[in-house]
Structure 1
Amino acid sequence: MHHLTAAQARRIVVRAQLLDADRPGDVVEVAEQLGYVKIDPTATIAPCEHTVLWSRIGWSYEPGQLRKAVAGDRLLFEFDGAFRPMSLLPLMLPAMRQWPQRESSRQWLAANDRFRRDVLARLRPDGPLTAADIPDTAQVSRPPDGWSGANQVPHMLEFLQRQGLVAVCGRDGRTRRWDLAERVYPPDLPQYEPDDAARLLEERRLQAAGLAKRRSPWTPVGEAGEPATVEGSRWAWRVDPDALAALDEEVDGRVALLNPYDSLLFDRPRLAEIFGFAYVLEQFKPASERRYGYFAHPILMGDRFVGMLDAEHDRDADVLRVRAVHEFAPLEPEERDILRAEVDDLGAWLGAPVVMP
């Protein structure tokens, strides 16, 4: 049993998420460590996948590097709203072959067996295709859920992707292009038994988290790693042994501006327990109920969350317009200077001068 101070726990998590001063070198290195890079089109500053990578790599990151890693080098693949390293695919395939487990999804697939065969038959000679290129021949429809309309083709493509039968092979802007998985995924992937694959996936999740609860619904790591306690927390934790071994290494902290869908923010209970940060995304709140802004970016300084940046890339004026910097507690003058330098770097990366209030 390892006994961690609160500061050690925070440092382990920050380093695991590649948010200390020792920046990674490229897109694939980030994806390998984090396990995924979330895709989201909300571009108040820039789309999520690009701000996640910029916040790790820094000024040298260019969006073309992500496109090359996905479409050119095939080192990353798109699955379930995220870009993932190809090294994870063999570990995911055993569970994909057993999907779905939910009875309602099984029933929908069974009722639409002809539709399923129609989609695969259309992709085989004509792929890659967009969802709009494929006729909707569904026998049973899923009701609109607020995210998708009445067309059943996107639903079927998502289901077939989860079964490992089709895959996203590229994008036209934000529109996905689909093809048979056998033409997208490498043919010579390693084979794993389901139990081994599940165990290795838990180890990869803990690698990305650094520290997590064993049965967390957000970051399930099972028996991966080693048991730990954290000062001030009653929870039972699992810690990554490699992260523990690196604790004595001297690596400075830095300022990071995090997209609201950043993976560090995903496990909200852990965020509150370890960092004392009760984060609420205000994107879907009425404007009158927002405290920090529609898509404010949390500000991480070292191993502390110190505020929220409410900013927008005004593309008409081509400036990064900062509406407000909400400080949770008053920052020291030198801390404000460091934060301002990071905001200036963000503007330089966007090619947009910063306009402060």
Structure 2
Amino acid sequence: MTHRLTLEQARRIAVRAQLLDADRPGDVVEVAEQLGAVKIDPTATIAPCEHTVLWSRMGWSYEPGQLTRSTEGDRLLFEFAGAFRPMSLLPLLRPEMRRWPERESSRQWLEANARFRADVLARLRAEGPLLARQIPDTADIRRPPDGWSGANQVVHLLEFLQLQGIVAVAGRDGRHRRWDLAERVYPQDLPEYPPEEAAALLDERRLSAAGIARQKSPWTPVGSAGEPAVVEGSRAKWRVDPAALAALDDDPGGRVALLNPYDGMLFDRPRLKEIFGFEYVLEQFKPKAQRRFGYFAHPILVGDRFLGLLEAEFDREHEVLRVAAVHEIAPWEGEERDMVAVEIDELADWLGVPVSYGS
């Protein structure tokens, strides 16, 4: 059976799947289980991505120590490939880890640095967990700086070994990762899945996090998970999460959400445009003169519509949230302006500072 959805229904499904409706989740693990990934990014115009993603779902009840406890203490979350993920996903990722790397250049680099690999693993086994800078760089073949990791080959190797499931991030010292052997970080009693079953279950988890996705989307690959759907005004073939469909009649309503530019809700740009009519361009990498909405403007979701962008910065020197502008990109009602103002005040309260309007 192919489900027929209005644009409003498709938007509501997507919003609820991302935990951005009025029914806020209660803890960090609940958010990670549903979203599948909480992206890590150091850009802290207001606050680092991982914290604003969690605050935008949980609100005032979120505090950063909860994320640390869930990853380093309770081990209910783990850091992998630039995101915090629920430990329930690890068994589904292991078949991919065992196949990695598929790129020939990466295989050749690892093979040429077999001695370097042995040195790093021996150091971790004897002294771990360690920061990358505490491990000697004994690489025989060097990779050029990629704009992210720099010239230190230890960082490259640790990230490769993480993708293979051999090492893992045991915790952080500020923004710096502490590495250890995966066997000492990950639980050892997790289930095993054949590659085909793991891939199918990953598709289901991705669809659950999205609610609805194009059937053949490189942004949100869901394979044959869920059920087929068509969306009003769209000629694309869609897949919809059955659980999200069943919950449509129980919709608790919408609210205002201020989204970090790297929030997973914004990742699938084609879906964002087709369902929400929202064309979001992150202006972080544009020359200043070409920016319309600011260096790191946070999209403003009101109910199931994107109505504006918040251009603001946490001024740490003067301890104030400076709001340069609230850009309205669609018609607003007075009540909506009031709701957005309240949410900005809530953001400032969470940061522990007052709000100042005007640059």
Q: TM-score range by the shorter chain?
A: over 0.9
- Between 293-302 and 206-215, the greater mean CA deviation after superposition: 206-215
**Residue in 1 that maps onto 2:118:** 117
- Residue by residue over 1:178-237, the C-alpha shift from the partner in whole angstroms, topping out at 9 and shown as x without a partner, is 000000000101011111111101000000000012231111100000000000111110
**Residue in 1 that maps onto 2:149:** 148
The one-letter code matched in structure 1 to 2:78 is F
Q: Secondary structure at the match of 2:248?
A: coil
The one-letter code matched in structure 2 to 1:124 is R
Once residues 247 and 125 of structure 1 are traced to their aligned partners in structure 2, the CA distance between those partners, rounded to angstroms, is 54
**Residue in 2 that maps onto 1:176:** 177
- Residue by residue over 1:100-150, the C-alpha shift from the partner in whole angstroms, topping out at 9 and shown as x without a partner, is 111111111111111111111111111111110111111111111111211
The one-letter code matched in structure 1 to 2:26 is G
Once residues 299 and 22 of structure 2 are traced to their aligned partners in structure 1, the CA distance between those partners, rounded to angstroms, is 18
Which blocks of at least 5 consecutive residues in structure 2 are unaligned? none
The one-letter code matched in structure 2 to 1:272 is K
**Residue in 2 that maps onto 1:309:** 310
Once residues 73 and 282 of structure 1 are traced to their aligned partners in structure 2, the CA distance between those partners, rounded to angstroms, is 37
The size of the alignment, in residue pairs, is 357
Which blocks of at least 5 consecutive residues in structure 1 are unaligned? none
Once residues 158 and 97 of structure 1 are traced to their aligned partners in structure 2, the CA distance between those partners, rounded to angstroms, is 14
- Between 139-148 and 40-49, the greater mean CA deviation after superposition: 139-148
**Residue in 2 that maps onto 1:205:** 206
**Residue in 2 that maps onto 1:86:** 87
**Residue in 1 that maps onto 2:55:** 54
**Residue in 1 that maps onto 2:322:** 321
Q: CA RMSD, aligned part only?
A: 0.8
- Residue by residue over 1:256-286, the C-alpha shift from the partner in whole angstroms, topping out at 9 and shown as x without a partner, is 0000000000111111111111111111111
- Between 21-30 and 248-257, the greater mean CA deviation after superposition: 248-257
How do 1:277-356 and structure 2 match up within 5 A?
277-356=278-357
The one-letter code matched in structure 2 to 1:341 is V
Once residues 308 and 339 of structure 2 are traced to their aligned partners in structure 1, the CA distance between those partners, rounded to angstroms, is 13
- Residue by residue over 1:19-61, the C-alpha shift from the partner in whole angstroms, topping out at 9 and shown as x without a partner, is 0000001000000000010111111111110100000001111
The one-letter code matched in structure 1 to 2:75 is R
Q: Secondary structure at the match of 1:248?
A: helix
Moved over 6 A (4+): none
Deviation at 1:171, TM superposition (A): 0.4
- Between 139-148 and 158-167, the greater mean CA deviation after superposition: 139-148
The one-letter code matched in structure 1 to 2:3 is H
TM-score (structure 2 length as normaliser): 0.98
Once residues 57 and 51 of structure 1 are traced to their aligned partners in structure 2, the CA distance between those partners, rounded to angstroms, is 10
Once residues 48 and 103 of structure 2 are traced to their aligned partners in structure 1, the CA distance between those partners, rounded to angstroms, is 32
Q: Secondary structure at the match of 2:61?
A: coil
**Residue in 2 that maps onto 1:30:** 31
- Between 29-38 and 245-254, the greater mean CA deviation after superposition: 245-254
Once residues 250 and 35 of structure 1 are traced to their aligned partners in structure 2, the CA distance between those partners, rounded to angstroms, is 22
TM-score (structure 1 length as normaliser): 0.99
